[in-house]
Structure 1
Amino acid sequence: MKNIRWIVEKRGPSVGGMTTYVLAAVAGLLTGAGLIIAIGPQNVFVLRQGVARAHVVPVVLVCAVSDVVLIVAGVAGLGALVSAHPAVVTIAKVVGGIYVIVLGLMAARRCLRSSEAIVTNAGEANTVSRWAAVGMTLALTWLNPHVYLDTVLTMGAIANSHGNGKWAFAIGACVASLIWFAALGGGASRLAHFFESPRSWRILDAVVAVVMLAMGAMLIASV
């Protein structure tokens, strides 16, 4: 018994430290999910690419890797740098807002097309080159000021509140991002058979247009 007690006492601190890291990782997973799972330009774009089965893997990878980079940057202290230079966020709001509005107008135009033209939406998505799809994904990700406010500032502040467990928090948040985008892109591709009719594409593009135009207007109005 004395030997067992000695082992427990000897390992107690390490077990407590491990628990701290696990709790921090779980907190990161839940926080990451809460901030990432929201209707926005990036998620809507991933959804549409998934439904069209067009370059889903590179689009998902760009989103996930970008999130990982931003989360790590926030935990490492980039949030403080962004806070010290608010002009960066202002520029991102204006440029990002204009870009998102343009995408919203393009979606609205697709929605108002004839039924014959709407049927070709999936085909048009596939005719876009892989690099063009990647470029649009990068723009929707890095020109979105909410990325810096939520992922960098908020996530960084919460992570650093966990002290030594901040990197465990970051790992949990990164895992949440990977799971979400993989599920969104892969799950959307399974809905492709529902979009064989022009009406389905019209509804999807209408939703895309409303979200994009609203988000773009909100970004510019917040300057």
Structure 2
Amino acid sequence: MGYLILGSGGLGTALAHELARRGEEWLLAGRQLPRGLDPACYFPLQEVDSLGFDALFTLYEQARLPNVVINTIGLLHDLNHLPERRVEEVDPAWLCESLQVNAWPHLALGACLSRLMAPDARLWLCSVSDLAGSIGDAASQGVPGRYSYRMSKAALSMGSCLLAREWAQRFPGAGVITVHPGPMDTPLQQPFHHELDTASLQAPAQVASRLLNLIETLTPAHSGQFLDLAGRPLPW
């Protein structure tokens, strides 16, 4: 199968290494080329915006589309913003940026693929999400606040549901899922290790292998679902 991976952070890099190990065809699009990967399998995606996505998909105008697209792009904090603890800390500009990074790429990928897909296309679009954005799961609300992050992940869930329903009519052989991989030992979580059970943190390489194995088991009935790495449905 052919794979397109969005995001060159901890999980995106681990996915590329695992696919290379398995002898699969893959392309990684991200801000930097990770060490040890073939530069011929890398596309520089410096900004999460329409221009960057459109440039990426010019590669597929004369080539076949990947069978699997995995979006690992996500944002919890940056140098100027930490997750909000109280509602008074919510900054509208940061909320919009969180939506831009955590929710919009899934729809941007859906739009780019929809322009190029044939009605009988066989393809999976998978975005990495977080149970912290689940409104229906009370257990995920342990860490207080994180308004922008949680709200943007909830928006990702709605976008995924809508896209899955649209594709069921337009491209019935294609599917859409979101996956909660669980806590990973990546730079995203490093400032918050004191809030986590560090024994439960997974290595990105472990998550990458399990995620690829999960994708290999998907059937049309899975489209539109929010899953864990074992393939169990999670509450929206």
TM-score, normalising length: structure 1: 0.28
With a CA cutoff of 8 Å and minimum separation of 6, indicate the structure with the bigger relative contact order: 1
**Greater Rg, structure 1 or structure 2?**
1
Select the structure that is richer in strand.
Answer: 2
- Structure having the larger proportion of residues in helix: 1
Q: TM-score, normalised by structure 2?
A: 0.27
